[in-house]
């Protein structure tokens, strides 16, 4: 019996059996209200299918009420009078009702699931597209798990809105109304008794269910904490940290305590569940017993036949679940609307870096690679000062620009504007005279390539990681890019060469190897403008020099913008710009800036002292 009531409908955030509204659902709806009209708009293309589902639900509920009346006819007429013909007809009718209801149930599930999946598909793709248009700042201020949860779990939970919340609401109403009418038609006395007995039975069930829910919530929190410990301690990074710190015994003790707490909560949850089962058993024993009592007393038994009694008990047993379902429907509706609210909240995000309504005509083959920043000022949406201020800068096509400066001077921000990860707050960034805001992301990415200090490798083969930048690249082109990035020999030494899986987040490779793979991936796209945002920061000096020589060769004919932490790698740049607090402090060639003896010269001297100290330490070791 316990399983019967646990099968009450659920949605992504819903509850059942003694449910109450989740404060998180209420807060979500208060922060981002959702109108019923907007939700119904999603279902409008499927209205004919949904009307058919509704008709099936009502038909199924009515057919379900026929079985008790058939049983009454069997007990009162066919069996006592040995009417074989009537007996066969009634038995066939009972089997037919069951068969038709089974078929209707399958058809209903197929139709409602199809509608739910189509709506989920539409929302899932719409949310994904809108998130793709968000600027990098959205992802820096939003937890990755939150984005994944809304895109997968929340949208998947909408299936329950169609197949459970909506269909069960219709089914429960039809069942309760039809059952009450049938009960009154069979015996008004027994129907009156039910109206008296059902409310306290429902209240008792809800009270016990609340106890079970509280115990289950505590267990789930403890289980989530245990899972968190497993994820933190047994991941690659966690295992490395615990081993280097010698924290294994402490982590084991911590896990033991968490597991011990979970043990007690599991027992408490199971006992609460058994209490609920016992309560349901008592209710299902008391109600038929009282019905038998009323039917057996001379005062109240008038007109109640054995068949009537059998039919009424069958109806009585079937009304409890839909009544409970209707009582929790408000919670389910709130949970369902909270799901829609969370999804619509992402759908309603305004793209900070929107695609142009009418893109400029800019064929990639005609791109020259001239980059200009015209009076560019940029401030992050949550910032309190300008990261860049009134920057005027021109990078002629085919030249090499190096950007240097202290940490926080705005170097990476400038590179992000050129690759249009952000749009300037004021001014504009142009590519061959065209505002980047007038180019689609595909047009811009086809000309501008970026290799940053933060590399990201997919959990796939080396070959597929490299081809992610250019899916149509040939094996020869992939190998050429890998050789240019000084990573081909490393790949060839792997167990399966280019078909070797890189592992979670590329942990198979060192930081320098990951950067060279990212460099090869970008070079494979053959961009006219190449942005190197400290792209060789994780390389040792020898490898960095080798990669730098390769980049110098590859840079011929390209526009290269380099942000480097080692100033020795930018000496040959055509133009060096020194940034300080978002403003251009100096600009010129290496020789010109050294002759000026300003900020750049000071940075070079400081860098040389650091390199000498590192060399002395290495020799002393």
* pLDDT one-digit tens code per residue, 133-159: 787 777 777 776 777 777 777 777 777
Q: What pLDDT was estimated at residue 555?
A: 67
Residue 84 vs residue 428, higher pLDDT: 428
- Whole-angstrom CA distances from 143 to 13, 101, 128, 330, 349 are 20, 47, 16, 31, 16
Using one digit for the tens of pLDDT, what is the confidence trace for 344-365?
888 888 877 888 889 999 888 8
Q: Which residues contact 177 (CB under 8 A, 6 or more apart)?
A: none
Q: Is the pLDDT of residue 435 over 90?
A: yes
pLDDT, the chain, mean: 79
Task: Tell me the whole-structure pTM to 2 decimals.
Answer: 0.65
* CATH 1.10.3720.10 is the classification of domain 12-187+328-352: no
Give the CATH fold of the 373-620 domain: Rossmann fold (3.40.50)
Q: Is the pLDDT of residue 7 over 70?
A: no
Q: What pLDDT was estimated at residue 13?
A: 40
Structural contact between residues 485 and 520, judged by C-beta atoms closer than 8 angstroms: yes
Residue 430 vs residue 256, higher pLDDT: 430
How far apart CA 618 and CA 507 sit, in angstroms, is 27
Q: What pLDDT was estimated at residue 162?
A: 66
Using one digit for the tens of pLDDT, what is the confidence trace for 50-105?
889 889 988 888 888 888 888 888 888 888 888 888 889 989 998 998 899 899 98
Using one digit for the tens of pLDDT, what is the confidence trace for 491-513?
998 888 999 888 766 667 877 78
205 pLDDT band, cuts 50/70/90, is low
How far apart CA 114 and CA 162 sit, in angstroms, is 10
The strand order across the sheet containing 434-435 reads 388-395, 371-378, 426-431, 434-435
Tell me which range, 13-27, 209-223, 315-329, 553-567, is most confidently predicted by mean pLDDT. 553-567
CA-based R_g, the chain, Å: 35
Give the DSSP letter string of 49-67.
HHHHHHHHHHHHHHHHHHH
Structural contact between residues 409 and 397, judged by C-beta atoms closer than 8 angstroms: no
240-254 average pLDDT score: 75
Q: Is the pLDDT of residue 552 over 50?
A: yes
Structural contact between residues 601 and 586, judged by C-beta atoms closer than 8 angstroms: no
Tell me which range, 229-233, 466-470, 582-586, is most confidently predicted by mean pLDDT. 582-586
239-266 average pLDDT score: 77
Q: What pLDDT was estimated at residue 3?
A: 37
Q: Which residues contact 469 (CB under 8 A, 6 or more apart)?
A: 449, 521, 522, 524, 525
């Amino acid at each position: 019996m316990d399983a019967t009531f646990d099968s009450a409908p659920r949605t992504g955030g819903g509850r059942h059996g003694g449910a109450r509204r989740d404060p998180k659902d209420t807060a979500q709806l208060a922060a981002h209200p959702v109108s019923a009209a907007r939700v119904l708009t999603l279902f409008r293309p499927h209205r004919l299918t949904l009307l058919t589902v509704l008709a099936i639900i009502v038909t199924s509920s009515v057919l379900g009420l026929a079985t008790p009346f058939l049983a009454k006819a069997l007990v009162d007429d066919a069996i006592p009078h040995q009417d074989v013909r009537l007996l066969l007809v009634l038995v066939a009718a009972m089997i037919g009702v069951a068969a038709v209801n089974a078929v209707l149930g399958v058809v209903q599930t197929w139709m409602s699931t199809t509608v739910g999946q189509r709506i989920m598909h539409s929302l899932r793709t719409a949310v994904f597209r809108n998130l793709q248009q968000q600027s990098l700042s959205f992802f820096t201020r939003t937890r990755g798990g939150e984005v994944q949860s809304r895109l997968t779990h929340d949208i998947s939970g909408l299936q329950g809105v169609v197949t459970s919340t909506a269909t069960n609401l219709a089914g429960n109403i039809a069942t309760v109304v039809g059952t009450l009418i049938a009960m009154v038609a069979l015996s008004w006395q027994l129907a009156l008794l039910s109206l008296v007995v059902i409310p306290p039975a429902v209240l008792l069930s809800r009270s016990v269910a609340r106890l079970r829910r509280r115990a289950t919530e505590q267990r789930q929190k403890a289980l989530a904490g245990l899972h968190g410990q497993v994820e933190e301690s047994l991941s690659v990074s966690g295992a490395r940290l615990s081993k280097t710190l010698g924290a294994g015994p402490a982590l084991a003790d911590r896990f033991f305590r968490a597991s011990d707490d979970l043990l007690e909560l599991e027992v408490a949850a199971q006992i609460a569940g058994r209490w609920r089962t016992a309560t349901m058993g008592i209710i299902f024993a008391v109600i038929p017993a009282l019905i038998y009592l009323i039917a057996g007393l001379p005062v109240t038994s008038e007109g109640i036949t054995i068949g009537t009694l059998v039919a009424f008990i069958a109806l009585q047993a079937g009304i409890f679940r839909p009544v409970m379902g209707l009582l929790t429907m408000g919670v389910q509706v709130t949970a369902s609307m909270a799901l829609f609210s969370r999804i619509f909240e992402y759908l309603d995000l305004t793209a900070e870096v929107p695609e142009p309504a009418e893109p400029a005509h800019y064929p990639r083959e005609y791109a020259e690679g001239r980059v200009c920043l015209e009076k560019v000022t940029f401030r992050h949406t949550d910032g309190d000062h300008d990261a860049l201020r009134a920057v005027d800068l021109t990078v002629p096509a085919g030249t090499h620009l190096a950007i240097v400066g202290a940490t926080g001077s705005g170097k990476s921000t400038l590179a992000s504007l050129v690759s249009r990860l952000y749009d300037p707050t004021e001014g504009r960034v142009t590519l061959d005279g065209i505002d980047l805001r007038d180019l689609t992301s595909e047009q811009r990415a086809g000309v501008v390539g970026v290799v940053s200090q933060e590399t990201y490798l997919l959990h796939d083969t080396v070959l597929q990681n490299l081809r992610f930048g250019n899916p149509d690249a040939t094996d020869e082109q992939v190998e050429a890019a890998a050789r240019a990035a000084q990573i081909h020999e490393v790949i060839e030494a792997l167990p399966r060469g280019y078909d070797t899986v890189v592992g979670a987040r590329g942990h198979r490779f060192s930081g320098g190897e990951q950067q060279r793979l990212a460099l090869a991936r970008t070079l494979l796209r053959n961009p006219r403008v190449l942005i190197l945002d400290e792209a060789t920061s994780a390389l040792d000096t020898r490898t960095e020099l080798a990669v730098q020589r390769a980049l110098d060769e590859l840079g011929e004919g390209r526009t290269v913008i380099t942000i480097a932490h080692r100033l020795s790698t930018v000496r040959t740049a055509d133009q060096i710009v020194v940034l300080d607090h978002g403003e251009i402090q100096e600009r010129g060639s290496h020789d010109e800036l050294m002759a000026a003896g300003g900020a750049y010269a000071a940075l070079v001297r400081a860098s040389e002292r650091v390199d000498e100290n590192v060399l002395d330490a290495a020799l002393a070791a």
